[in-house]
Amino acid sequence: MLEKAFHWLTGCVRFQVKGDAARLFNIAAKSGLALWGFSKEGELPAAWARPRDYRKLRRVCRRCNTRTWLLKKRGLPFQTRRFWRRKGLVLGCFAGIALYFFLSGFVWNVTVTGAERLTEAQILEAAQEAGVFVGAAQKSFRPKRAALSMLEQVKELSWVSVNTNGCFVEIALKESQEKPEVVDDEKLSNIVATREGKVIAMEAHHGRPEVELGETVQEGQLLISGLYPEKVDPYSPPPGTPMTTYGSARGSVVAETYREFTVRVSESRTEREPTGKKQVNRSLTLFGFRIPLGFNIIPQEECRLFTERFAFSALDAELPLVFEQDIYEYLGDSKRRLSEAEQKESALLKLREAQRAALPSGARIVTEKLEYVFSQGECILLAKCRCEEEIGREQPVIVE
């Protein structure tokens, strides 16, 4: 086994002899030439020899009046010589190995896991400030330091871990819970009505209710009292000094209210529409560096921008090579007359915006009566609504 390995490392050749082979082999042995593997190849004898010993056989062949020719070449020297003849292939192999080790020192992809309320764009922006981004050198950042930096930047995070797996980085996080509202029970306050309505639901968490279900209340009327004396039992002897309760009134009062909304929409509208002219900018992003593919021009006029992004991937892993195409559509003013259906649709959309702005959070519209009026180039929409909404508002009590 060791002999075969030695012959492969030093190289060996297989040759045939025509003529007096026995005399050739004897003279070669006396001359110190190493030959082995004697056998017949067809009708002529053959043997193995080292390349340098085979070259020395030429003088012996002239003395013995014999001829030799090669049959096989084996071993490392002959294989390496074959590759050296193809210098482009050799250089390509070395360049590929060097490029592999060079690119392995950069971040190829960054993924985010655990985000619920926060968007991935917010996390990646904070990670970039901490030095974690596609194309960043892995030696330039420390995972623990980057995680601490992200915790300082994004206050909504309670825990962050930056994990590396070769050229890929995973940002695992957990969002913090919203802090409950701190209520100062020592502050004296009442809950009063913000508008008139009919009480349909009431919960008094702290304080005494001053109205009943089904009762109609006016704006500013006391609903839940945070400062009230103890009710005296008519069947018990009256106390010497009635006990008075002080504190902050807390609770919820839902009432059925009536609201009217009026919105106006013009019969003509000026819109920004595409003119048909486009500007397309193509680029290639490699490790975060954007390489323009041509003379990219950013229009100065008002445009609508669409971005098409194609990320190259291999083995289900996204590579740091992205082809992007930005399409700019030029816009121009276009004035047109709206049909009655379009005017109604536009007025209804404007009404919904006005209702969202006026109604408190959690309110809902129970019934709604809409009336459209077309007059003097306008569409006027009048809405009469029955709503269910929270009407309680905390009002501080000032004691002098």
Model confidence pLDDT, tens digit, residues 204-251? 888 888 889 999 999 999 898 877 666 666 666 666 665 566 778 888
d(CA 340, CA 56): 107
pLDDT at 244: 65
3-state secondary structure of 393: strand
Residues 123, 125, 129, 134: what is their CA dihedral angle, to the nearest 10 degrees?
Answer: 90
pLDDT at 243: 58
d(CA 297, CA 283): 12
Within the chain, which residue ranges are assigned CATH 3.30.70.340?
2-80
**Domain 109-175: which CATH number of 1.10.10.60, 3.30.420.40, 3.10.150.10, 3.10.20.310:** 3.10.20.310
- Amino acid occupying residue 399: V
d(CA 94, CA 184): 73
pLDDT at 235: 65
Tens of pLDDT, residue by residue over 93-112, are 888 888 778 878 888 888 88
pLDDT at 383: 94
pLDDT at 69: 82
Strand order in the sheet with 189-193: 208-209, 222-225, 189-193, 392-396
Within the chain, which residue ranges are assigned CATH 3.10.20.310?
109-175
Whole-model pTM over 0.85:
no
> What value does the mean pLDDT of the chain take?
84
3-state secondary structure of 247: coil
pLDDT at 365: 93
For the range 6-11, what are the long-range contacts, defined as Cβ-Cβ under 8 Å and sequence gap of 24 or more? 7/48, 7/50, 7/74, 7/75, 8/74, 8/75, 8/76, 9/75, 9/76, 10/50, 10/75, 10/76, 10/77, 11/50, 11/51, 11/73, 11/74, 11/75, 11/76, 11/77, 11/78
CATH homologous superfamily of 2-80 equals Metallocarboxypeptidase-like (3.30.70.340)
pLDDT at 201: 92
Q: What parts of the chain have a pLDDT lower than 50?
A: none
Among candidates 127, 106, 128, which has minimal Cα distance to 172?
Answer: 127
3-state secondary structure of 97: helix
